[in-house]
A and B are shown apart, each in its own frame.
Chain A
Amino acid sequence: MAKRVGYLVVRTGPQGDEAIIPQGESNHDIEDEVQDWRNLSKSLGSSTKTQAAIPKRGEKEFEPDGTSVQNRALQESRESMYEALSGLRGHSLKQKLVAVWMSDQGQSIVVHAKGNYFRDVGIPVNIGTKVRGGLMLSPLETVYLVERGSMVCYLGDAHYEQWLYNDTKDFDYDSLVMLDLGFLYAIVAETSHFDVDQYQVYSYLKRHGYLILQTKAKEQREHQAKTINAKQQAHKSTPETHKSIPDTRNLSSGLMFLLGIGRKLSQATSYWGSLFSTLIHHCKKALVYIQSKLISMGVFAVPTSHSLHYFTKHYFNYTEVFQSLRITPSSAVPAPSSTSLSFQLVFDVWKPTTSFSKKSPPPPDFQLCVVNTDHSNFPSLATIRSLFEVVNKEEPVKPTEKKPKKKSTLPPTKKELKYQRQLERQARLDAKVQQRNLYLKTRDNKLKFGSSGVNVIIATVNQGILNFVNLSEADFELKEIEDLDVIYPGKDHGIVYMDG
């Protein structure tokens, strides 16, 4: 008696007409639901034969529905695909790009570089008077261009080398062995350090339009890291001095501070010094005594590390309560043993841009490591830290404000409209509210994408399949974040709770 309506099976049960959802339908999550026994008894009461029906969700393109409409649409789509594929393709002889693989150097040479491929490919080379503006290509670059079908590669021999350094007019490339892709792969793997994992990452990103250079030599980077470290140290030493200013919230320590100044003065003259020190000693004693008396009287609070602290101190907002809960780590934690860098930065990556010079590249947008899942595990904290130390800390250059786009004739998209409306709504708000919103937004970004902006990308390769992971340095305490200090100076940015 079952009649099919969409995915519902309508069945005439003993109680009359009742729609029963077939089992296995929908992402019904029993765990999340209040258990209702009526449902169970209902389904037991009716017939126990439940028809397994595949749930139908929404409409699909080209789904056969018994009419010719969908079939025709599919056929048309297919035909246009074949049409596109059958178009005539070819290379113009003028643009033919020739490279010669130099086995002894583990590189290939392009004597006449043409085309738009070399913005981030190759190292310029001049040989004698003949080769001007030639390029040396690394194995990665050579294989990429050949695989792409943009370049033809020959195997260099002694004859060719002789030609290179001696001045004869023309060279007949047909006298060399032309390398097909398979041959090239084999030769490259044989004669140089060609890492297939790295090549896969390189070619994948290149095909996405990114600009890629191999990360500079290690020594250079280390030198850079050193200077950066030195800079950092210089930066770090300044906050230390700030820290020596005592916590004035605590009255007694404030007094201690004053006494401390007194002690410093006393060093000037020895006579006064001794007098002072005895005085200080007595004062301290008295202070401690008074403090303990006051605590016992309930006028003065015990320190935060005491279990009765919250019974003895008045608090007027939760920000201060949270501050009192914070346990600052002592420096006694064993320093991370400096492990050898098992992860190496191999690629500097830039988003596609029109102004790029491989000679003096801007700070990269991304820096990549390539690892194989068969040979490595997720890095330890020490490894991640050492990576963070060597990555470029300079902010990538933000694209300069583009010229105002040509007025598009299209009506604004939904997204644009939404953004526009949001801006308008913001502008109508009170200045204070606007400021607060800006603060919250900036803070959220700092939390979500890391407070320092230091990050590294690890490309994991698993038998040809790539996955990219971005690891960024974060600090939920949000200490010394300029962008936030500008908006609310002196606020403890790390405390996410906002007193009303």
Chain B
Amino acid sequence: MKGGKTSRKVLNELYARPLPLVLSSEAYNVTIPNVFPHNPISWIYLVWKIVQINTLNRVPQSQIPALTVQLEESIFKVADEADFITLWRCGFFGKGVLSRSEPTWKERSIKRFNTVQNDKQFSMEELTKKRRDERKKFKAERAKLQELELKQRKEELSSEDAASLEGLKILLSKMRMNPSIKNISTDDLKVETEESELADIIDLEYLQLQAIETFYLKFALNVINVYESHLLSTLQLFDRCCRLSQGEGPNNTFIIEYSVYHYFRSLGWCVRSGIKFGCDMLLYKRGPPFTHAEFAVMIIPGDEKLCRDWFDMAAIARVIGTVKKTLVLAFVEYPNRETYDQILLSEFEDEKEKFTQLLGKYRVTEILYRRWAPGRTRD
């Protein structure tokens, strides 16, 4: 039975797309041929290929219907199961409201109530529980060992105790070497239920998107439609997002945050909220299932009159340091009110153009903040 750490290969297959966009090469199984500068035939072949693809095949993305996002009481919801699976698998957007991050509630419930016999891998929540149980068990055994060792010191050890002491030593070293988390079975996680209780499980979970994620999916990728009571245009969505956050004008929290989000996303990082570490964002190389986040981003609006305190900075840096991440201060310089209003009010052929113009006025500057321990850098 599979379980525990999923192999790299499986992960690569599962999360093959870093964005919810389908490539032409994937859709039509074509590749752009290599060009050898000294070989004119390769040139012709390349041109032929490009012409062929452009004339014969539609762009795959134009064939895919937009995903549906509902804005209800200032929450961006994705209720459709297929939609939220796409959003999670392709770029790790949003959070399942009944799960830790990946929306796994339904899957877990099915397993718990034993309605379907499946030997799929475990969800992260289940693994965590399992690991903690095991740790508890380990500690209990260790306590026993220590008690016996104390007895040994007091020289009250009976021959029976001595045998169990040796046994415990071996057991503990075994537990340390190979935690059984690698081979747990689904039986450990089942809830005893009577046959009559079995019923289909309705998916109560939905995916909640951050405002910046929603705006990115709409404005930058154009893969979602956001509905409030009606379909929202990009400008309307922008307006809603700004109103949900603090401040107004060119330095409102939403657009400052978004400019940083867009910046890192466009560099191929998987960006997720950093609230658990007291910062604004976390940067993953590929996504949460692959590696831990390597960078934590703290956003500071460029000409902040009220400067940050040394103590707050030290506190955050200390937390980030202990989880082996690097703290990045993202300073955002923003345009003045005049330019901001002018761009928002002027007419553009296309809404994306307007916001591309606007975001072009924002500049992100990264500064790395790390503690220096003189005792450790001497040699």
Contacts and interface: CB of A to CB of B under 8 A. Distances in A.
A300 B54 CA distance: 8
A56 B150 CA distance: 14
Given A19-B140, A299-B55, A377-B309, A208 B375 contact: yes
B209 interface: no
A53 B336 CA distance: 60
A298 B326 CA distance: 45
A460 interface: yes
Interface string A429-462: 0000000000000001001111000010100101
Contacts of A221: none
Contacts of A332: 335, 339, 360-361
A364 to B, nearest CB: 13
Interface string A369-387: 0000100111111101000
A97 B92 CA distance: 67
Contacts of A56: 143
A476 B333 contact: no
B353 A34 contact: no
Interface string B339-356: 100000000001111001
A322 B267 contact: yes
A319 B268 CA distance: 8
B333 A333 contact: yes
Contacts of B61: 310-311
Interface string A76-90: 000000000000000
B113 interface: no
A34 B129 contact: yes
Contacts of A62: none
Contacts of B351: 307
Contacts of A317: 23, 25
A413 to B, nearest CB: 15
Contact of A32 (B126, B128, B350): B128
Contacts of B374: 204-205, 208, 210, 468
Nearest to A474: B366
A494 interface: yes
A49 to B, nearest CB: 21
Nearest to B31: A316
Given A318-B23, A334-B333, A305 B366 contact: no
B342 to A, nearest CB: 11
Interface stretch (A64-72, A109-117, A158-166, A268-276): A64-72
Contacts of B142: 6
B265 interface: yes
B62 A312 contact: yes
A377 B307 contact: yes
Contacts of A7: 139, 143
B266 A65 contact: no
Contact of B23 (A208, A315, A329, A330): A315
B38 interface: no
Q: Which among B222, B353, B374 has the greatest number of chain A C-beta atoms within 10 A?
A: B374
Contact of B266 (A205, A314, A325, A471): A325
Contacts of B352: 305-307, 309
Given A381-B300, A468-B373, A327 B335 contact: no
Contacts of B67: none
A129 interface: no
A351 B333 CA distance: 36
Contacts of A497: 18, 268-269, 286
Given A307-B352, A329-B362, A351 B372 contact: no
B379 interface: yes
B58 interface: yes
B371 A8 contact: no
A305 B18 CA distance: 21
Given A32-B100, A321-B21, A6 B143 contact: yes
Interface in B11-54: 12, 17-19, 21, 23-25, 30-32, 53-54
A253 B359 CA distance: 23
A315 B220 contact: no
B146 to A, nearest CB: 7
Given A351-B377, A377-B308, A468-B371, A327 B262 contact: yes
A5 B144 contact: yes
Interface string A15-48: 0000101000010100011101000000000000
Interface string A324-368: 011111101110100000000000000110000000000000100
A291 interface: no
A125 interface: no
B238 interface: no
A211 B222 CA distance: 57
A471 B356 CA distance: 31
Contact of A314 (B24, B132, B350): B24
B350 A306 contact: yes
Given A8-B140, A469-B372, A333 B153 contact: no
B323 interface: no
B302 A381 contact: yes
A457 B267 CA distance: 28
A299 to B, nearest CB: 5
Contact of B359 (A69, A327, A352): A327
Size class of the B contact interface (CB-based, 8 Å): 35 or more
A314 B353 contact: no
Contact of A351 (B24, B140, B336, B379): B379
A394 to B, nearest CB: 18
Contacts of A315: 21, 23-25
Interface in A101-120: none
A486 to B, nearest CB: 21
A380 B302 CA distance: 8
A380 B21 contact: no
B25 A330 contact: no
Contacts of A450: 368
Contacts of B54: 299-300, 314
A481 interface: no
A469 B371 CA distance: 5
Interface centre among A67, A310, A462, by most B CB within 10 Å? Answer: A310
Nearest to A251: B50
Given A327-B356, A467-B314, A470-B370, A310 B25 contact: no
Nearest to A381: B331
A317 B374 CA distance: 45
B230 interface: no
A65 B150 contact: yes
A333 B363 contact: yes
A496 B371 contact: no
A477 interface: yes
Contacts of A328: 360
Contacts of A462: 310
Given A327-B359, A470-B370, A34 B125 contact: yes
Nearest to B334: A333
B85 interface: no
Interface string A275-310: 000000000000000000000001110001111111
A384 B331 CA distance: 11
Interface of B: 12, 17-19, 21, 23-25, 30-32, 53-55, 57-59, 61-62, 100, 108, 125-126, 128-129, 132, 136, 139-140, 142-144, 146-147, 150, 153-154, 219-223, 234, 262-269, 285-286, 294-295, 300, 302-304, 307-311, 313-314, 317, 326, 328, 331, 333-336, 339, 350-353, 356-357, 359-375, 377-379
9 contacts: A21-B136, A305-B357, A314-B57, A318-B23, A321-B19, A329-B364, A373-B311, A380-B307, A449-B368
Given A307-B350, A326-B266, A332-B361, 13 more contacts: A6-B144, A298-B59, A307-B222, A309-B222, A321-B19, A329-B363, A332-B339, A336-B333, A352-B379, A381-B367, A467-B314, A469-B372, A476-B264
| The 8 residue pairs across chains A and B that have the minimum distance between CB atoms | A6-B143, A497-B268, A377-B307, A311-B62, A468-B372, A325-B266, A314-B24, A307-B352
